[in-house]
Amino acid sequence: MASLYVDGYRPWPEWVVEGNEEIATKFGAQIGTYRGHADDDHGDMTGQFAADFWFYVNTSEKHDAVLAWFKANAERIGAIYIITRRRIWSVERADEGNRVYTGEDPHTSHIHISYDNEPPEEWDMALSDSDLDRIANRVASKFSTVWLSDEVRIIKAPADSPAGTGPWTTGGTLRFIRDKVIDIEGRLEALETPEPAPVEDDPPF
């Protein structure tokens, strides 16, 4: 099977890799980028938020199919716009539909996709083993078993599985876990911060 990549230069962050590979696998393409690729999007010169897709079967029907899929999935994969066959469509200006692309390259031989420089809202990224252990141990030292049964089960993956592969840390739960972490650590900070001594009223004269 041919590689998904045009060359060895792969500077993308993980959520961009996931989006790229989903598209390339679904529609049959190779992926590439280069330094300075779409650098005006984020002021970034590495090309890490841009990708070109070179399809094994490059037809107008293929471009139309990718464009339709992109419109339905762009926000999920963290992408912001697509250029294909003299058309550009963006999440930000979706209500305008397909606009005419007037750049020098008409993008008839390939499709260009640019990504946001932040991961999508629901992107699932597991906490590290050390993070899970640190949080679970702090909670265990402060709260009752009853409370632990509700909270640590959400945060602590089974000891024999890599971080993020246990049943309590998968399935798009990153935001949920982060909220729990913030709540738990906020409670711990409150417990560990001594309350100021009460100030006695001055005795009457």
Phi, psi of 84 (to 5 degrees): -155, 125
The yes-or-no verdict on residue 60 having pLDDT over 90 is yes
Q: Of 22-36, 39-53, 131-145, give the range with the top mean pLDDT.
A: 22-36
Please name which of 7, 150, 20 lies closest in space to residue 82, comparing C-alpha atoms.
20
Tens of pLDDT along 88-97? 999 999 999 9
How far apart, in whole angstroms, are the C-alpha atoms of residue 3 and residue 81?
25
Contact 54, 110 (CB under 8 A): yes
User: pLDDT over 70 for what percent of the chain?
Assistant: 54
Please name which of 48, 37, 34 lies closest in space to residue 6, comparing C-alpha atoms.
34
Looking at the whole model, is its pTM more than 0.85? Answer: no
Block residue for tokens 């606009």? 99
What does the pLDDT read at residue 165? 40
Alpha helix ranges (H) inside 41-173 = 60-77, 129-140, 145-155
Q: What ranges do the domains of the chain cover?
A: 14-115, 129-192
Find how far residue 170's CA is from the centre of its chain: 14
Identity of residue 205: F
What does the pLDDT read at residue 201? 60
Q: Torsion angle, CA of 73/75/78/81, rounded to 10 degrees?
A: 80
Question: Mean pLDDT, to the nearest integer, of 27-42?
Answer: 79
Contact 144, 193 (CB under 8 A): no
How far apart, in whole angstroms, are the C-alpha atoms of residue 70 and residue 62?
12
